[in-house]
Amino acid sequence: MKQVLVVNNPNAGRKKALKYKKAVLKYLFNKNLPFKSISIEELGNINFEEFDTIIAIGGDGTVNKLIPFIINTEKILGIIPCGTANLLAAKLNIPANIHKALKIIDNQNCSKIDTFKVNDKFSILRFGLGFDADIICNTPQSLKNKFGYFAYFIAGILFALRLKQRQYNLLYDNKKHSVVATCLIAANASNMFKNIFSVSKNCKLNDNLMDVFILKVKNPIMFFFEFLQIIFNIKISGSKAMYFQTSSLNIKNDFFNCHLDGEKHKFKDEVNITIIPESVKVFSNI
């Protein structure tokens, strides 16, 4: 590390990010490393060419906002997880404890991981439609501030009672497929809670593939039954669920309300998702 940019999301982790920022700056000061510290809102004012290392203090959404500035460069990303979910950090085996997370950076162990491009935007974790998007996009911030990641479980129960099916026209690996579904997820990291529950046990961050999971059922009881079987790796595909891996995916629909790495987005008519292999360097414990 020669020049370090510290990017802090002050609203992350029920405002733990402010406390973590002090610990990161103290670490850099003790290491006698030159650094600049900014908030996530100041990204557009920074010349990233000046920095070889970026330390993100926040959650998956904070990391997502940094991707356009570091993709396909030699800059190394360090993650201090303190968001609502911290799923990417969990996949990289980065602890939630601030001092242990700094130890990962101090060890200088780097990995190159895939990202994917969704139209003109980037994702490092997952793209979700239907039920998955409803939970992520519509869970109130006040609920997340109070319950953290478990706010999504509470919202999930509520949204499962009003599941909606939509028709998606898919193109992948030169195959066309039309499916009526309640949930569609394209994942670079498929873990749903830490590293305990995942929609695909095959998913890797550097395999040049995305894992696509589609759940078709509308009945809430059957939906949960199928979903639980999948996250416990009892089954993958069947008449009520669909799973495949691909390097590119085209989805057509009338309108898309979705999320990228936990951040709400809207796409109209068509989405093109393409894997960008090993395009981001990160400090990790994998």
Residues 233 and 125 both lie in one domain: yes
User: Residue 109 falls within a domain, yes or no?
Assistant: yes
Kind and range of the H or E run holding 272: strand 263-283
User: Residue 282 falls within a domain, yes or no?
Assistant: no
Measured between alpha carbons, how far is 283 from 264 in angstroms, rounded to an integer?
27
| Pair of tokens at residue 231 | 């996250």
**Domains in the chain: how many in total?**
2
Between 153 and 110, residue with greater pLDDT: 110
User: Residue 283 falls within a domain, yes or no?
Assistant: no
Provide the whole-model pTM: 0.89
Residues 139 and 247 both lie in one domain: yes
pLDDT band at 65 (very low <50, low <70, confident <90, very high): very high
Which residues, including other chains, have CB under 8 Å from residue 20's CB and lie 6 or more apart? 8, 13, 57, 80, 82, 98
User: Residue 12 falls within a domain, yes or no?
Assistant: yes
Residues 152 and 228 both lie in one domain: yes
pLDDT of 166 strictly over 70: yes
pLDDT for position 14: 65
Domain end (from 93, 114, 135): 114
Residues 173 and 99 both lie in one domain: no
Residues 235 and 265 both lie in one domain: yes
The CATH number covering residue 56 comes to 3.40.50.10330
Residues 148 and 268 both lie in one domain: yes
As a whole number, mean pLDDT of residues 94-108 equals 95
Residues 258 and 207 both lie in one domain: yes
The fraction of the chain above a pLDDT of 70, given in percent, is 98
User: Residue 284 falls within a domain, yes or no?
Assistant: no
Asked if residues 59 and 13 have their Cβ atoms less than 8 Å apart, the reply is: yes
The CATH number covering residue 225 comes to 2.60.200.40
Residues 101 and 242 both lie in one domain: no
Measured between alpha carbons, how far is 114 from 258 in angstroms, rounded to an integer?
21
- Residue pLDDT, tens place only, 111-158: 999 999 999 999 999 999 999 998 888 888 778 777 777 788 888 888
User: Residue 286 falls within a domain, yes or no?
Assistant: no
Domain end (from 48, 82, 114): 114
Nearest to 262 by CA among 84, 114, 39: 84
As a whole number, mean pLDDT of residues 187-199 equals 82
Residues 57 and 156 both lie in one domain: no
Measured between alpha carbons, how far is 48 from 138 in angstroms, rounded to an integer?
33
- Residue pLDDT, tens place only, 68-83: 999 999 999 999 999 8
As a whole number, mean pLDDT of residues 166-183 equals 94
Measured between alpha carbons, how far is 121 from 113 in angstroms, rounded to an integer?
17
Residues 72 and 137 both lie in one domain: no
Residues 125 and 265 both lie in one domain: yes
User: Residue 104 falls within a domain, yes or no?
Assistant: yes
User: Residue 174 falls within a domain, yes or no?
Assistant: yes
As a whole number, mean pLDDT of residues 6-18 equals 83
Domain end (from 51, 84, 114): 114
Asked if residues 277 and 114 have their Cβ atoms less than 8 Å apart, the reply is: yes
- Residue pLDDT, tens place only, 206-238: 999 999 999 999 998 888 888 878 877 776 677
Domain that holds residue 126: 121-277
Residues 259 and 131 both lie in one domain: yes
pLDDT for position 231: 76
pLDDT band at 105 (very low <50, low <70, confident <90, very high): very high
pLDDT averaged over the chain? 90
| Helices 131-138/150-160 angle, 10° precision | 130
